[in-house]
Amino acid sequence: MAAVLYHVDHQTLYAHADRATTSQHVACLKPRTLERQRIRWHELIVEPAPDAVEERIDYFGNRTHYFEILSQYRELRVVSRSLVEVRPRAVPLDPEASLPWDQLHERERFRLGAPGDPELQFAYPSPFVAIGAEVLAYARPSFPAGRTVIGGAIDLMHRIHSEFRFDPEATTVATPIAKVLANRHGVCQDFAHLMIGCVRALGIPARYVSGYLLTDPPAGQPRLVGADASHAWVSIRDPRFGWVDLDPTNDVLPDIRHVTTAWGRDYDDVSPLRGVVLGGQQQTLKVAVSVLPVSEDNERADVSAGSAPA
């Protein structure tokens, strides 16, 4: 399959009950440049116009934008637009070629203890991923002795997808994974946090990935879940394959229908937009996301007409 181009549009609107007097924000909205993903262009629009804007690279290598607004406002509108090229995997993933997870566990237990190891953080609890006995108990059936890391992770992904119900009203960002596990429903970030907790409980490094998803499938394929907001999935580190992505919400290995924005230990590291606001009182939030495939011909026409930013 050839590479696919996507227009990604992520709009956020904060409406305040009173005037905000000043605010500072960090946006984690610009997709990453990866081996199979290239950013043709990106723009960030902020209204009202900020008094300062600075693009930064955070601790995890994600591209973020810091901006500051010193004028009064009642509404804050932030729009991130990107043209992203995504290429398919060159070679299909063979789960049986992965390392047996119990061998990895023993090896990682010593390797991850080395001072300064940058992957140490992905093997232990983090603010939104507490690892309790119930999480470990849920993980164990997917990882019998001798099963490979990727084989076990795929089985765990299948189980979460089949045993949990997608329910956007069931949880909030702060819902503990123990409650998600007990109630068996939630949204993509809950399923990602649960899966991360399960594999970390076994000593396997895992990170939280945020991004976007093309939900309208080709003919004959099922529609995916995750429209109208940022999507979230999981990346598991295997010594033979490196980092391997898995989407427990949709029970798929992400390929050309997923666009990666950022990764970290959990949602707290990659929140799309966060900030501090003085004044404003109560606020309402609206988020809208669209991911649309485009052709090279349409994109060349847009650029020649001057619609694409530099």
Q: Do residue 79 and residue 154 come from a single domain?
A: no
Q: Do residue 83 and residue 101 come from a single domain?
A: no
Q: Do residue 214 and residue 189 come from a single domain?
A: yes
What are 305's two structure tokens?
């007409």
- Reply yes or no: is the peptide bond before residue 92 cis, omega within 30 of 0: no
Q: What is the DSSP string of 83-138?
A: EEEE---SS---GGGSPBHHHHHHHHHHHTTSTT-TTGGGGS-BTTB---HHHHHH
Exposed/middle/buried for residue 176 (C-beta within 10 Å: 0-12, 13-18, 19+): middle
| 261 in any annotated domain | no
Q: Do residue 195 and residue 218 come from a single domain?
A: yes
Q: Do residue 79 and residue 110 come from a single domain?
A: no
Q: Do residue 237 and residue 113 come from a single domain?
A: yes
| 175 in any annotated domain | yes
What count of residues does the chain have? 310
- The DSSP bridge partners found for residue 53 are 67
The per-residue pLDDT string of the chain (310 residues; one tens digit each, 9 = 90 and over) reads 689 999 999 999 999 999 999 999 999 999 999 999 999 999 999 999 999 999 999 999 999 999 999 999 999 999 999 999 999 988 888 999 998 998 876 665 555 555 556 777 899 999 999 999 999 999 999 999 999 999 999 999 999 999 999 998 888 888 999 999 999 999 999 999 999 999 999 989 999 999 999 876 555 665 555 455 689 999 999 988 999 999 999 999 999 999 999 999 999 999 999 999 999 888 899 999 999 999 865 665 454 444 555 4
Name the residue range of residue 135's domain: 95-254
Q: Do residue 82 and residue 111 come from a single domain?
A: no
Helix (H) or strand (E) holding 237: strand 231-238
Alpha carbon separation from 163 to 152, 170, 179, 232, 253 (Å, rounded): 16, 15, 14, 18, 18
Q: Do residue 177 and residue 239 come from a single domain?
A: yes
Number of domains in the chain: 2
| 295 in any annotated domain | yes
| 309 in any annotated domain | no
What are 236's two structure tokens?
């598991």
Q: Do residue 172 and residue 234 come from a single domain?
A: yes
| 265 in any annotated domain | no
pTM of the complete model: 0.89
| 285 in any annotated domain | yes
The CATH number linked to 163 is: 3.10.620.30
DSSP, res 173: T
- The amino acid that residue 217 corresponds to is P
| 13 in any annotated domain | yes
